[in-house]
Structure 1
């Protein structure tokens, strides 16, 4: 390197590794938010040998960069790609999978004031039941 040239940035935030690419692709392709172990399992199908520490570090980095969001469902953190707009989640009680649903079951605009002076800024809804696959294979 000659004098006066900028020093290359070698921080994790500036590197686009194969691991990061695969993890981001898995998040983008998922039907809903994934737990870190679910993400690891799916990513290992594309990249055998990927470790859980790499998944957790990459999730933290993707969140810091605004590329992924953490969603807390039933006390468990799940992760999804950002930029999906307003949506909610459906948690299947039979298989445990969580799906994103694009329709909003609550007509609740920001700024709505509830009795007592509660001003709504945003809302989250999680619906629980059986996904289409589980509903077709089990009786109610």
Structure 2
């Protein structure tokens, strides 16, 4: 049981350190820093447990396998870099989405994903010091 707890803590720690949604493969790579013997099948089993426990939530992007982030994060959106495939959080949501709905429609939820190139892949310096990705580079 201690092994499972250590592995689960390593996976959750990887999500917390990354500060962005991670794929199971990214989770596997990052969590192995703390649990070197961690296998990919174990990552998938622990993802299920962490979802059931309410510690993490799924991030669904069109046409892709889910990624995972901390569950306590409030409403926010995502940006996906088309070059490195990393997904990043967009914290602000200041748009009045009701203005975009057809007349008579009521908006009760929305999800937005922006696509483009992150600062690392476009060769531009980020505006702030963002978290490190699975490849060890800063992204913004």
Query: What is the TM-score normalised by the length of structure 1?
Result: 0.77
Shift of 1:46: 1.9
Which residue in the other structure is 2:21 paired with? 33
Shift of 1:132: 1.1
Provide structure 2 residue ranges, at least 5 long, that are not aligned to the other structure.
125-140
Which residue in the other structure is 2:119 paired with? 132
Root mean square deviation of aligned Cα: 2.5
Count of residues in correspondence between the two structures: 123
Query: Runs ≥4 in structure 1, deviation > 6 angstroms?
Result: none
Deviations 1:16-75 (A, max 9, x none): 711111111111122321111110111112211101121111111111111110111132
Pick the structure with greater CA Rg. 1
* Bigger share in strand: 1
Provide structure 1 residue ranges, at least 5 long, that are not aligned to the other structure.
1-9
Aligned with 1:74: secondary structure? coil
Which residue in the other structure is 1:121 paired with? 108
Shift of 1:116: 6.0
Contact 1:19 1:47 in 2 (8 A): yes
Structure with the bigger RCO (C-alpha within 8 Å, sep 6+) is: 2
Which residue in the other structure is 1:73 paired with? 61
Contact 1:32 1:89 in 2 (8 A): no
Which residue in the other structure is 2:50 paired with? 62
